[in-house]
Structure 1
C-alpha cells in the first residue's frame, strides 16, 4: 500500500516538487501511525471504567479483542466509503513533459 501511495504522489506532482510529494506521503503515513495509537488509547480509556478490564487489558486472554477488531472493521468500512467518494471525484493531473515523452516513445516503437 505504501509503495502504491508513494508512486501516486510521484506521478501526480510536477518534477520540481517531487521531494514535496514524497514528504506528503511520509507525513500521511506518520499521521496514520499516530491516529492508530490514539484509537488504541481511546478504546482503552473508554472501555476500562471502574473495575472492568476493558477490551485491551495487560493480559490479552482476559480482554475482548474481538470487539476491538469489530470496531476496526467498522472504521475501515467507513474509511473505504470515504475513499470511494474521493476517488470518484478525483481528476488525474496530466503533466505535459511526462505524457508527451511517453506518447513520442510509443509512436517510435510502433513506427518501426
Structure 2
C-alpha cells in the first residue's frame, strides 16, 4: 500500500502536510457530532462510502444521512476509506453524477 501511495501524484503534498496529522487527529478525537446543527442544512449532500470501509465509517455516514434532509449515500464497490486515491475514476464519476455533470 505504501508503494502504491508513493506512486500517486498527491504523495509529495501529503508528505509536506504530515506535520498537520497530530493536530488533525486531536480534532477528530475531540469532535462530537451534534445532529441538531445539521437538521436544517439546505444543501444536497453526497455521502460516499466504500464497500470495504470499516463499520465505524458506515455508522457515521448513516448518522449523517439520517440527520441531513437532502442527503444520499452511494457505496463504491471494492473501495475502502481512501477511494479518492484508490478508485479515483469511480470517485470522480459519482461526484460528477451527483452534480449533474457527465463523465467523459
Greater gyration radius:
1
Q: TM-score, normalised by structure 1?
A: 0.23
Which structure has greater helix proportion?
1
Q: Which structure has the highest strand share of the two?
A: 2
- Name the TM-score, length of structure 2 as normaliser: 0.24
- Bigger RCO (CA 8 Å, 6+ sep): 2
